[in-house]
Amino acid sequence: MSQASTQKLVAVAILALLLLIWQFLPPALGVPKYIVPTVSDMLTELGRMYRRENLIANVASTAIFTVLGFAIGSALGAAIGYLLGLSAFWERVLSPYILALQIAPKVAFAPLFIMWFGYNSTPKLLVTVLIVFFPVLVNVLAAMKTVDRDMVNLARAYSLNRWEIFKKVEFPSTLPNLMAGLRIASTLAVIGVTVGELVGGNTGLGFLISYGGGQANAAMVFNAIVLLTIIGIVLYSVLVWAEERLLHYIPKKDH
Amino acid sequence: MALEFTGVTKTFTLPDGKDLTAVRDINFTVGQGEFVSVVGPSGCGKSTILSMTAGLYQPTSGAVRVSGEVVTKPNPHVGFMLQKDLLLPWRTIIKNVEFGLESRGVPKAERRERALFELDRCHLKGFEDHYPYQLSGGMRQRAALARTLAIDPAIILLDEPFSALDAQTKLLIQNSFAETIQEAGITTLLITHDLSEAVIMSDRVLVLSERPGTVMREIPIDLPDRAHPLKRRQMPEIHQHASEIFTLLRLDQRAA
């Protein structure tokens, strides 16, 4: 058997083992199902959520705002990262503010956004945009500062103008860092949306978590967490897929 | 004259406000088709000479002329190559060779044709669609030479282009560069710290003093086979010239 198929087999075996332990260990230890629900409890609850709690609409809302917040936040982060990267002056003037905002816990802004915009989708979108913005900005800015000066000089010697130098040398040079920033941002986007929905939403998986928590329905909370994780994994996988295609010219390291 | 330095001095202002004179009163000329090397102790301003020829910055006083015209901005008639190949890793080899032509209004078909011609001349036929990471260090430097030649420069500046290569590759690439440069009939200024490299490859060697660098001596190398450094390496005169430069640079005393 090849090594790859052995790996797959072991991975599936571990998953099966985990699910079995989850199904049988808590009842065996006498843990009640409102504390730790079993796998079958969760599946039953998932069916009920589908019929009674508008599960599809809630998943769709969270997924859409995750992607939307990720797209807007990373576009803004990249745009400002590149602009600051082109101007050493503004980068120096604004860097203390960027650092302060980067350190400030973004999710703590959620109640403020609800006070300003009310109980609708705007606050959760804003939290997501804000949380996604910084890792992208910081990665892009760091990459712009480390573009090979000799490469830029070569482009200048070849009579490229400022815009062409950006387009043909600087932007492609920063692509690996931009992609790394986007990958980090994709995982944060799920957190942003969840917090927005937890604090003041009436739709989405974050809302189902606080609703289920209020009813002591642990199975509902677990299900929502699993679905949030799946949304995050899908977004992350899309980015990894895109990165492998965009950065095909970087030789892969063997592990 | 292809290249002419007259009374060139370059002073930099350091971040702490002090002035640093990198080169002082440099005078030399390089004739059409000539291959001239510049050697000198480290920090003597070799790279400053190169940057001023490329037009990346201007002398504080004096003038640099390429084909009789004073260099005041990045000069499209100067091609330069560094120790790093500076190939764009996201472009194929042929697209890298075309890079220098893209901002010069050369039509696409002609760009491709010229790139193919230069790749052939640099013995890289068949590697057009490879990416830089798929090539060895020596092949990458040849690709960089092809890119440099593709812009049809009046002069090429080589800044230690062989110093990152292993000893054997270096000999082969020196030979291949010498052949290609001879065949193209192109004026070349080579900056190097390798004394024997300077002697085997050049028509003439300029020896610079310590900073602020100035031309201490011009040593003509009147030997045949400039296009074949491997053959020249066997000639006894090479060692005489190299040891003459060695003495000029007082390397033995500096080692003490």
- The pLDDT of residue B251: 65
B146 with B167, same domain?
no
- The pLDDT of residue B54: 86
A168/B80 CB distance under 8 A: no
B178 with B70, same domain?
yes
Of B152, B174, B208, which marks where a domain is finished? B152
Domain ranges of chain A: 1-31, 37-246
Instruction: Say which amino acid occupies A212.
Output: G
Upstream peptide bond of A27 is cis (omega within 30 degrees of 0)? no
B68 with B183, same domain?
yes
- pLDDT tens digits along B83-105: 889 999 999 999 999 998 988 88
B145 with B163, same domain?
no
A150/B82 CB distance under 8 A: yes
Of B98, B119, B152, which marks where a domain is finished? B152
- The pLDDT of residue A57: 94
**Which residues form the domain of B236?**
3-77+155-250
Of B99, B119, B152, which marks where a domain is finished? B152
- How many CB pairs lie under 8 A apart between chains A and B? 53
- Asked if residue B22 belongs to a domain, the reply is yes
B121 with B228, same domain?
no
Tell me which residue in A159, A249, A250 faces B76 most closely, judged by beta carbons: A159
Cβ-Cβ contacts under 8 Å, A250 against chain B: 89, 133
A158/B100 CB distance under 8 A: yes
The three-state (H, E, C) secondary structure of chain B, written as one string: CCEEEEEEEEEEECCCCCEEEEEEEEEEEECCCCEEEEECCCCCCHHHHHHHHHCCCCCCEEEEEECCEECCCCCCCEEEECCCCCCCCCCCHHHHHHHHHHHHCCCHHHHHHHHHHHHHHCCCCCCCCCCHHHCCHHHHHHHHHHHHHHCCCCEEEEECCCCCCCHHHHHHHHHHHHHHHHHHCCEEEEECCCHHHHHHHCCEEEEECCCCECEEEEEECCCCCCCCHHHHCCCHHHHHHHHHHHHHCCHHHHHC
Interface mutation target, options A92, A158, A162, chain B, most CBs of B under 10 Å: A158
B103 with B72, same domain?
no
- Asked if residue B174 belongs to a domain, the reply is yes
**B 63-82 residues inside an 8 A Cβ radius of A:** 74-76, 78-80, 82
Chain A residue whose CA is closest to B131: A249
- Asked if residue B255 belongs to a domain, the reply is no
- The pLDDT of residue A58: 94
B74/A161 CB distance under 8 A: no
B65 with B144, same domain?
no
B187 with B99, same domain?
no
- Asked if residue B203 belongs to a domain, the reply is yes
What's B46's domain CATH number? 3.40.50.300
ipTM: 0.81
- The pLDDT of residue B255: 58
B104/A175 CB distance under 8 A: no
**Confidence grade of residue B3 (pLDDT, cut at 50, 70, 90):** very high
Cβ-Cβ contacts under 8 Å, A154 against chain B: 80, 86
- Eight-class DSSP state of A249: T
CATH topology for A37-246? MetI-like fold (1.10.3720)
Interface mutation target, options A149, A153, A154, chain B, most CBs of B under 10 Å: A154
**What is the pLDDT averaged over residues B59-64?**
93
Q: Shortest Cα distance from A144 to chain B (angstroms)?
A: 16
Chain A residue whose CA is closest to B144: A154
B234 with B164, same domain?
yes
B64 with B160, same domain?
yes
Q: Shortest Cα distance from A159 to chain B (angstroms)?
A: 6
Q: Shortest Cα distance from B172 to chain A (angstroms)?
A: 26
What is the C-alpha separation between A213 and A210, in angstroms, rounded? 5
**pLDDT exceeds 80 at position B1:** no
Mean pLDDT by 10 residues, chain A (255 residues): 86 95 92 90 93 93 96 96 92 90 89 90 93 94 93 87 94 96 95 92 91 92 95 96 93 66
- Asked if residue B125 belongs to a domain, the reply is yes
Interface mutation target, options A150, A152, A156, A159, chain B, most CBs of B under 10 Å: A159
**pLDDT exceeds 60 at position B32:** yes
B73 with B174, same domain?
yes
The answer to whether the Cα torsion of A55, A60, A66, A72 is positive or negative is: negative
- The pLDDT of residue B73: 85
B64 with B164, same domain?
yes
B56/A168 CB distance under 8 A: no
> Domain total for chain B?
2
- Asked if residue B256 belongs to a domain, the reply is no
Q: Does the beta carbon of A252 lie under 8 angstroms from any beta carbon of chain B?
A: no
- Asked if residue B99 belongs to a domain, the reply is yes
Tell me which residue in B74, B84, B131 faces A249 most closely, judged by beta carbons: B131
